[in-house]
Amino acid sequence: MPHKSASPPEPVPAATVILARQHRSELQVYLLKRHAGSGFMAGHYVFPGGILDPQDWQYGFWQHQVDLGGQNLYNRLGGGRLSAEQIVAYGVAAIRETLEEAGVFFAKRVNQSRTDIEYALRLRDRKDLPPDWFANLAESRGWTLLLSALSPWSHWITPVQMKRRYDTRFWLACMPSDQHCRPDQLETTHGLWVNPKEGLSGNLSGQIPLSPPTLVTLHQLLTFDSLADLKAEMLQRKWGKPIFPRMIPLDRGAILIEPWDAAYDQPDIDINVAGLEKALLPAGAPFSRIWYYEGLYRPISA
């Protein structure tokens, strides 16, 4: 929803993980439905993720609890002028949030068993966890976080008119074959595996309402026929330029203009409000504009 304010809030650092898997002959990703009472994207399907906690920034601690360091850290996860402290903080938050929201833990320990994963899952289900619970889990149980399982995908910055704004790093990771996704039933109420085309079609029908970054990401993933193809992309993917949409408020709803739109840099963009219904695009069609109306974000032609 647009936020009318003379001074927009500063974007808060956040991390998101695109979980991908090969299911029979198709590539699938995991989506979580945010709780209807959420303050941001309520009722919409998103990838697991959330804001960086103060504990995620404890570089002196976490640098000894992750499996990448030094030049390997920059080579695999750097770019975009990120410092080692920032890379580790975003990576730790991505792994923590994926455990919290989806029940998937990208970590390893000596003589690891399924019981160890179950312990972490039971811990994340507790409602009285202290702020440093994740650091305590890693240290007390000897977990090493697998930053090597993450690959940069995209960098999003929320439009200035939004009430809550985020500076989010979208990571991509392959779903561990020995784990299963499970929503936390707090921040997220439902989870599903879909191929990108199914997700885009479900968004158009209103059955799988997507957030704008999720919508764009699923469209990006249409070009990959399999997880193997996606893995090849992961080996060379860099952060690239931030995706910073412009928002044009309407009397009812709003239009999001993506950076690749031909009119993005124009001071004033004329919108034919009366023709928006006819401008809706089918799933899979290229787009640079998204129409927010009656709770749905749907691609439209320029």
> Residues 162, 196: one domain?
yes
> Residues 75, 150: one domain?
yes
In-domain check, residue 5: no
Number of domains in the chain: 2
> Residues 256, 199: one domain?
no
> Residues 256, 227: one domain?
no
Return the number of other C-beta atoms located less than 10 Å from residue 154's C-beta.
Answer: 21
> Residues 250, 230: one domain?
no
Amino acid at 152: P
Q: What is the pLDDT of residue 6?
A: 62
> Residues 157, 300: one domain?
no
Q: Domain ends where: 213, 238, 263?
A: 238
Q: What is the mean pLDDT of each run of 10 residues along the chain (302 residues)?
A: 66 98 97 88 94 98 97 89 95 98 96 93 92 97 98 97 94 97 90 98 97 98 97 94 97 96 96 95 98 97 96
**C-alpha to C-alpha distances, 208 to 46, 50, 199, 230, 263, nearest whole angstrom:** 10, 20, 7, 23, 29
Domain that holds residue 268: 245-302
In-domain check, residue 7: no
In-domain check, residue 257: yes
In-domain check, residue 113: yes
Q: What is the pLDDT of residue 79?
A: 77
Pairing mode, if any, of strands 188-194 and 166-174?
unpaired
Q: Domain ends where: 238, 267, 286?
A: 238
